[in-house]
Each structure stands twice: as structure tokens, then as C-alpha cells.
Amino acid sequence: MRYVFGDCELDFSAYALRRAGAEVHVEPQVFDLIACLVRAGGELVSYDGLIAEVWGGRIVSDATLAARISAARAALGDDGKRQAVIRTVPRRGVQLAVPVSEAVAEAVAEGGAEAAPAEKPLCDAAKRQVIRYTTSRDGTGIAWAETGEGPPLLRAGHWLSHLEHDWSSPVWRPLLDRLATGRRLIRYDPRGTGLSDRALGGASVEEFADDLEAVADAAGLDRFPVYAISQSVPIALTFAARRPERVSRLILLNGLVKGSTARGEAEKTETMVGMIRTGWAVPGSAFMRAVATLFMPRSTPEELASFEEMQGLSATADVAAELRRTIGGIDVSAVLDKVTCPALIMHCAGDAIQSPDQSKLLARMLPDAEFHLVDSPNHVVVPSDPVWGDCLDAFDRFLAAEA
């Protein structure tokens, strides 16, 4: 859906801002701030409302809020002196100073060409998530969310997950919006993390697959594709081997067959555990900055800061350390011959968390797999990474082939 105001256009489907026909790059939080004002349609948005919408209600400084508003003005060709597009109401909030309308492309009756966008009253086009709870096989409470409409796509749960934080994260929100475009996106916080029960209650790959199955059942999914990254890859593979009739396709990014401990590299596991024990959720911790940088060396300062913040919100230090040991001990090589659906396997060439050799091994062992090596140093592919759009395009093509 696209909205026009002044000489600007905000395209929610493409997650793009255009001014005078040219695309303008903005950081995800700036995009979300503009989107919040567009959805308000000229009504005043309080500062508290902005914080709730853009930052998920987390505490932010006045300087941060002012900086994002200033960046939004610059992106829209405005400034604080003129306030021709974004108007500040002192001590109350901000609002758009220009009319907003929804652009709708209508087909010409003869010739099949598209007419110029027509205007219709503003409606709320932003995707909304609905959070619910279900119960895994052993009684563990699992929080899950859905957004969008269309054929289903289940995003397998992984470490460092928080349904509410991810919704406003510059790392994850653009991905969620893209995956939910034309689809019903289902995702969840696995046990021990986010809004799910924080006690692990058994942390083997089988229990994590139970969490995935419980969410699929609660969402009423019959046969569906699964998108998985990092350690959620072996979880998705375990479920696909267990219930091959339910998984139609697999998208597997930067995954693993065997964890570092299972490969005989226990020291690698314990090094990460030691970093977690030393500085988990400690503001400004050099250890946590090091962990974040290992996961996403090619990222913006905003993305890196959000990832650091996510660490403390997603799990306690004890749970995070236990999860890293669990991931290190994973070995799903024995179940791969039971995975029969088509699989798209992608891995970043410079990934320091999981070696591309793991995905190459996976591609050799699965009967119907295609493999792509991605030119990036990241383990978490962030929106600012030049390869991000190409990866999402590949996902779309692969899922479209299912139809």
C-alpha cells in the first residue's frame, strides 16, 4: 500500500520512501516514525505515542527522539524552522502539516494500462501483530505472533528473540514487514526467550521442535513453508523430518548441521559462554559489543545498538549461556535423509558464527536442495547490508515456485 503527502510517497509494501519520484534512504526507526505520522492522517501524535509505536514503549532520551524527528524532516525535505511537512506542537507532540491520501493504481478499461494513482481516504495500512500463547508438549508456555494476510509462512524461533522488541527493531522489523507482504507470517519466541516461559524446561533440539509444532497447531497450519536462520535451522530440519507431510518448503540461512561442541570444538562454545557470563546485559559492556560485532560486523551503529539491547531483553545470562551450550551440542545429521521437501540453503561467506561448510554439508545431504553462497561477513543479515535485498528476492522466488 502506498500513501502520498506533499511531494512524498510512503510505500509500506516495499518499505520505501520516495520524494519527487526519487527513493530516499532512511533508517528503519525514521521510516517507522514517518509511518506513524502518516497513519495518524494529520492528527497530533503525542511524544509518548511516538515512543510506544517506534520504540515499543522503551525508554529513550529526548535527544534520541529529537534526532529521529530531525532525520524524518530532512528525509521529507523539511526542517525545524519551516515545519512545512512535520509540525511540532510544543510539549505535546508532532503531526503532519500536509494532507495524506492513499494511492491506488487503477487499470484503464481499454488497453490494460495503468492510470495515474487515484486518491481515496486514508486507512491504516500498517501491518499489526497479534500476540497469543500456546503450550508446548511438556507444558512450556510459548508466545507466538502473526501478521499479514495470504498463504502462511512460519519463521522458526531462534536465540535472541523477543516478539515485542523485534517489532520495533531496525534489525528485524524490515525483515518481518517484507516476509509478511502478501503472506500470513507466523513467528514465536522459543522457550527460555522473549515472552515465552523463561525456564528452558529441557533444551534439546527435540524440545525446540516441539515448540515449533505447538505454534503451527495453534495457528491452524496444515502444510506450510518454514523460514529458519542460525540454530533454528536444525530445529526446522528436526520438525521436517518428524512431520514431512506438513512442511512444504524450507528456507535455511546461515545454519548448521553440527554445533561447535559436536564438531569437537568445545573451546569455541566455552569462549562464547564466557563472554556471556562476563558482560550479559551490562550497559556498555565491551564483551557484549564484541558478541554483537561477531554476529553482524557489517551493520550501522543503530543496528548494532539494537542488537546489543536485544541481548538483555531476550534472555537472562544463565539461560543465554545454557542456550549456547545447547547449540554447541546440536547434531541433526542422522535425520536429514527424512527431509524430503525442497530447500533453499544460503550462507554468508564470511560468517564467523557458523561456517559456510555447515550449509555446504547440508546441501550435499538433502535430496532436493539448492545452495547459494552470499557475499557478506554477517551471521545476521541486516537491512543495511547490500546483500539484504538480494536475499529477500531469492526467498520470494523460492516461495513463489510453490504455487
Q: What is the mean pLDDT of residues 162-178?
A: 89
Q: What is the mean pLDDT of residues 317-339?
A: 91
Picking from 395, 397, 396, the residue whose alpha carbon sits closest to that of residue 252 is: 395
pLDDT value, residue 349? 97
Out of 72-76, 129-133, 164-168, 370-374, pick the least confident.
164-168
Q: What percent of the chain is modeled with pLDDT above 90?
A: 52
15-24, 113-122, 254-263, 306-315, range with greatest mean pLDDT? 254-263
pLDDT value, residue 107? 38
Is residue 154 very low, low, confident or very high in pLDDT (cuts 50, 70, 90)?
very high
Sorted by sequence, the CB contacts under 8 Å of residue 393 that are 6+ apart come out as: none
What single DSSP character describes residue 160? S
**Phi-psi region for residue 192, left (φ > 0), alpha (ψ -120 to 50) or beta?**
left
pLDDT value, residue 85? 92
Q: What is the mean pLDDT of residues 99-105?
A: 74
pLDDT value, residue 118? 43
Picking from 314, 275, 313, the residue whose alpha carbon sits closest to that of residue 294 is: 275
Q: Is pLDDT of 67 > 90? A: no
pLDDT value, residue 121? 39
- Taking the model in full, what pTM does it have? 0.70
Instruction: Tell the residue number behind the cell numbers 560485532, with chain if given.
Output: 293
Q: Is pLDDT of 119 > 50? A: no
Average pLDDT, rounded, for the chain: 87
**Regarding beta strands 184-188 and 141-147, do their DSSP bridges make them parallel or antiparallel, or are they unpaired?**
antiparallel
Is residue 81 very low, low, confident or very high in pLDDT (cuts 50, 70, 90)?
confident
| 3-state helix/strand/coil string of 187-239 | EECCCCCCCCCCCCCCCCHHHHHHHHHHHHHHCCCCCEEEEEECCHHHHHHHH
Q: Is pLDDT of 284 > 90? A: no
Is residue 128 very low, low, confident or very high in pLDDT (cuts 50, 70, 90)?
confident
The per-residue DSSP string of 251-299 comes to EEES--SB-TTTTT-HHHHHHHHHHHHHHTT-TT-HHHHHHHHHH-SS-
What amino acid occupies position 57?
Answer: G
pLDDT value, residue 104? 54
How many other C-beta atoms can be found within 10 angstroms of the C-beta atom of residue 239? Answer: 28
* Three-state secondary-structure class, residue 401: coil
Q: Is pLDDT of 14 > 80? A: no
Q: Is pLDDT of 117 > 50? A: no
| Higher-scoring residue by pLDDT: 253, 182 | 253
C-alpha cell at 402: 510453490
pLDDT value, residue 113? 44
Q: 138-153: per-residue pLDDT in tens?
A: 999 999 999 998 999 9
pLDDT value, residue 63? 77
**Regarding beta strands 343-348 and 369-374, do their DSSP bridges make them parallel or antiparallel, or are they unpaired?**
parallel
List, in order of start, the domains of the chain with CATH numbers: 2-120 (1.10.10.10), 130-400 (3.40.50.1820)
**Regarding beta strands 369-374 and 16-19, do their DSSP bridges make them parallel or antiparallel, or are they unpaired?**
unpaired
Q: Is pLDDT of 369 > 90? A: yes
| Higher-scoring residue by pLDDT: 63, 4 | 4
Q: What is the mean pLDDT of residues 299-316?
A: 86
Distance CA 403, CA 371 (A): 21
